[in-house]
Amino acid sequence: MAEETRTAGRRAAGAAESGQTQRAARSAAGRRSRETRPEQVVVADPPPEPDYPRYRVEPGAGVRLADVDPDESEHFGRKKDAAPELARHRDRIADLQARLYGENRRSLLLVLQAMDTGGKDGTIKHVFQGVNPQGCQVSSFKAPSAEESAHDFLWRYHQRVPSRGMIGIFNRSHYEDVLVVRVKGLVPEEVWRPRYEVINQFEQALSLSGVTVLKFYLHISKEEQKRRLESRLADPDKRWKFSANDLRERGYWDDYMAAFEEAISNTSTDVAPWYVVPANTKWYRNLVIARTIADTLEAMDPRYPEAEEGLDQVTVDD
């Protein structure tokens, strides 16, 4: 069964790009994963694969960021062309999140990583519109405090992993410990390199306890970052977002690309896949991420608990 689910997902993923075939394959894969008991999907098997072969980094295959076009937007020309689909996915996420919360057995962890101005904040704002704030927890990770630095590097992240029923969003994450830490030489290579394996084991352990992990790298070009930084400088209402540190980090662009490429290639696994999302076009980025989240939640198939028996006979006193 488990293998069947995976194969069905792959088959769907590999199906022709054209509309009808792809839709048929997707719904077949959807049917298969709904037939599977949710805990088997999440615990005994990788999370079901949403149908995005171009953006999902296949485990073991690795990724070359230069091969992913940050300007991609499928057949959508303008924001309003994509708006109806985005609205649909938002509704799906809101409904499925309510079920996940009611079920109170499993959780979803989303990891967002990007260069400065890459759109992590904008993604959270746009994709989670309409979701009950009670069922979501956003954790933003900056440079570690003295207390955090005094522990193993995963300590502060583990504490913020979503509890049962919750969606957790990591705005930056444990990946900083193989990204900024490597690029800025904060620890030697003998320390950061083994972390790929530690991270894979951590995510595997989470998956075994019912946490589905999805990771998104928001892929912008260096030119797009320049435009976004300039627009922050030019707009009085955006100036507060500008930080001189962003310019310093920009100076390490190529080193960051190499670090992202290696980190993503080494840590995209069946239980915690990476998606490299074209992100120069903000509304397209939102659409891809919303779709992926909605499809993953749908395949998890969270269900409201059974109501108590005999409720039909219950009356409420005046």
Q: Which of 116, 295, 298, 301 binds ligand ATP (CB under 6 A)?
A: 116
Which is nearer to ligand ATP, 20 or 245 (by Cβ)? 245
Q: Which of 6, 126, 172, 291 binds ligand ATP (CB under 6 A)?
A: 172
d(CA 215, CA 112): 6
Task: Write each residue from 216 to 245 as x if it is in contact with ligand ATP (CB under 6 A), else as -, in one continuous string.
Answer: ---------------------------x--
- The terminus-to-terminus CA distance of the chain in angstroms comes to 52
Q: Which amino acid is at 34?
A: R
Q: Which amino acid is at 39?
A: E
Least separation in angstroms between CB 124 and ligand ATP: 10
d(CA 309, CA 318): 22
Which is nearer to ligand ATP, 12 or 124 (by Cβ)? 124
177 binds ligand ATP, rule: CB under 6 A: yes
Partners of residue 56 on adjacent β-strands: 275
The H-or-E segment that residue 199 falls in is helix 195-208
Q: Which of 65, 180, 187, 258 binds ligand ATP (CB under 6 A)?
A: 180
- Residue by residue, DSSP assigns 60-114 as TT---GGGS-TT--TT--SHHHHHHHHHHHHHHHHHHHHHHHHH-S-EEEEEEEE
Which is nearer to ligand ATP, 80 or 142 (by Cβ)? 142
Q: Which of 51, 176, 295, 298 binds ligand ATP (CB under 6 A)?
A: 176
Task: Write each residue from 84 to 123 as x if it is in contact with Mg ion (CB under 5 A), else as -, in one continuous string.
Answer: --------------------------------x-------
Task: Write each residue from 243 to 262 as x if it is in contact with ligand ATP (CB under 6 A), else as -, in one continuous string.
Answer: x-------------------
Going by C-alpha positions, the residue among 155, 117, 163 that lies closest to residue 137 is: 163
**What residues line the site for Mg ion (CB under 5 A)?**
116
